[in-house]
Structure 1
Amino acid sequence: MEKKLKRTPSDKMIAGVCGGLAKYLGWDSDKLRLIYVLVSILSAAFPGILVYLILWFVMPEEEF
């Protein structure tokens, strides 16, 4: 079975990007969100926001 990177509608706070990444990597979504926010803040926030917006539009949403 091939894993696909998709946004999750069931595990989302804004658009489901971090939930989809966590599911794809097999990680806990809350921990991934925390890591993502910390990395974004430590890198002056702009790159993290830009990457999130790009992933929001590029990643398809998971279907039920």
Structure 2
Amino acid sequence: MNKKLYKSDVNKIIAGVCGGIGEYFGIDPVLIRLGWVVFCALGGSGILAYIIAALIIPQRKDF
């Protein structure tokens, strides 16, 4: 089985990063979003990490 990480087109709120991570691991994207908010609130660089992830993770291309 060959899984790849892509930004989500379905579970997209800002850039689809959390939705894509949730789809990749098979968990609810809301849990990923809550974890990301906690990471940002505890002084982590969550916003910077999200921007980097939005730039690095490719968009799914279903042709």
| TM-score, normalised via structure 1 length | 0.87
Structure 1 segments unaligned to the other structure (5+ residues): none
Residue 52 of structure 2: aligned partner: 54
Q: How does 1:1-64 map to 2 (within 5 A)?
A: 1-44=1-44, 47-64=45-62
Q: Which letter does structure 2 place at the counterpart of 1:28?
A: D
Superposed CA deviations along residues 11-39 of structure 1, whole A, max 9, x for unmatched, are 11000000001111111001110111111
State, as a whole percentage, how many aligned pairs show the same letter: 40
| TM-score, normalised via structure 2 length | 0.88
Question: Distance between the aligned counterparts of 1:39 and 1:24, measured in 2?
Answer: 20
Q: Which runs of 4+ in 1 moved over 4 A?
A: none
Q: Which letter does structure 2 place at the counterpart of 1:14?
A: I
Count, aligned residues = 62
Please give the root-mean-square deviation of Cα atoms over the aligned residues, in Å: 1.1
